[in-house]
Amino acid sequence: MAQRYVRLQKTTGKLCYGLLQLDRQVQVLDAPPWLSGQPTDEVLAAQEYHLLAPCAPSKIIAVGRNYAQHAAELGNEVPKQPLLFLKPPTTVIAPGAIVYYPPQSNRVDYEGELALVIGDRCTDCTPEQAQAKIWGYTIANDVTARDLQKTDGQWTRAKGFDTFCPLGPWIVRELNPEARLQTFLNDTPKPAQSAIISEMVYSPGVLVSYISQVMTLLPGDVVLTGTPEGVGELQVGDRVRIEIEGIGSLENTVASKLP
Ligand code: MG
């Protein structure tokens, strides 16, 4: 199995990065792995930590309509260039954490996506250079208030609520381009979304290159590569699980926001 890189909070409160072993023990690293973090002698048992999102990005750059069939299901064309938007870092939540359904919306959707984690400062890169700046891969849910996305005309509010970016559970260094992404709701065995990663219109290297011509990407930043067809509605109480072959699965539940 591929090495799994995690970020966690110890029961003492301290945050750190680590390597997750098959027995759920974690070998602690002395820095983020993309900043040359090295294994220390410290090993944590499963009850001595809980997982956080696997990185703490300065920004999350997301891409709209990057799978042709998803663009079509919402009545849109595939854009002639990548369509970018930002999600604030405060959207990020850990695997297992709660997505809060905002009172301003009556229609909140899941969007299962492959997330790229940037390992090195990235400005004005070619696609080949950009590919080398992608340190690893994880899973994201680009949660979207679909009604507000339509009424606002731009997407800041629809995509930007606190808890609207579940991320994790860990990062792997390599990904098979033929890996399948699937999204499952509650106990329904049939996936709501199911697509091969390589069906995306603009590849990871092209996306990171395109973004790097606008803004500098920093180590730990995250790029969401778009969702395939099959997006749908979440209800309070739902469990949503996104799986990508070769990475793992990211599961979160939906709850109403407490007053
Ligand atoms: Mg999306």
Cβ atoms of 159 and 89 within 8 Å: the answer is no
Q: What is the separation of C-alpha 15 from the centre of its chain, rounded to a whole number of angstroms?
A: 20
Cα of 226 from ligand 1 centre, angstroms: 5
Cα of 111 from ligand 1 centre, angstroms: 6
Report pLDDT for 2: 86
What CATH number does the domain containing 248 carry?
Answer: 3.90.850.10
Cβ atoms of 64 and 202 within 8 Å: the answer is no
Residues 30 and 83 in one domain: no
Cα of 150 from ligand 1 centre, angstroms: 14
The string of DSSP codes covering 95-148 is: TTPEEEEPTT-S-EEE-EEEEEEE-S-BSS--HHHHHHHEEEEEEEE--EEHHH
Cα of 6 from ligand 1 centre, angstroms: 23
Residues 77 and 26 in one domain: no
Residue 231 has pLDDT above 90, yes or no: yes
Residues 15 and 112 in one domain: no
pTM over cut 0.95:
yes
Provide mean pLDDT across the span 214-234: 97
Cα of 77 from ligand 1 centre, angstroms: 15
Residue 195 has pLDDT above 90, yes or no: yes
Report pLDDT for 70: 86
Write down which residue in 51, 74, 90 finishes a domain: 51
Report pLDDT for 100: 98
Cα of 142 from ligand 1 centre, angstroms: 5
Residues 129 and 34 in one domain: no
Cα of 126 from ligand 1 centre, angstroms: 24
Residue 229 has pLDDT above 80, yes or no: yes
> Phi, psi at residue 127, to the nearest 5°?
-55, -40
Residues 203 and 180 in one domain: yes
Cα of 231 from ligand 1 centre, angstroms: 9
Question: Would you place residue 1 in the very low, low, confident or very high pLDDT band (cuts 50, 70, 90)?
Answer: confident
Residues 109 and 221 in one domain: yes
Cα of 202 from ligand 1 centre, angstroms: 14
Provide mean pLDDT across the span 43-59: 98
Cα of 45 from ligand 1 centre, angstroms: 35
Cα of 54 from ligand 1 centre, angstroms: 19
Residue 54 has pLDDT above 70, yes or no: yes
Distance set, CA 97 to CA 196, 208, 241 (Å): 26, 28, 12
Q: Provide the domain limits for residue 152.
A: 60-256
Cα of 64 from ligand 1 centre, angstroms: 6
pLDDT exceeding 70 applies to what percent of the chain? 99
Residues 11 and 98 in one domain: no
Cα of 41 from ligand 1 centre, angstroms: 40
Cβ atoms of 255 and 99 within 8 Å: the answer is yes
**For 70-94, what is each residue's pLDDT tens digit?**
888 888 888 999 999 999 999 999 9
Cα of 237 from ligand 1 centre, angstroms: 22
Cα of 32 from ligand 1 centre, angstroms: 26
Residues 76 and 18 in one domain: no
pLDDT mean across residues, the chain: 96
Residues 44 and 69 in one domain: no
Residues 33 and 156 in one domain: no
Residues 28 and 117 in one domain: no
Q: How many CA atoms lie within 13 A of 259 on its CB side?
A: 0
Counting the structural domains of the chain, the total is 2
Report pLDDT for 259: 63
Cα of 47 from ligand 1 centre, angstroms: 34
Residues 155 and 240 in one domain: yes
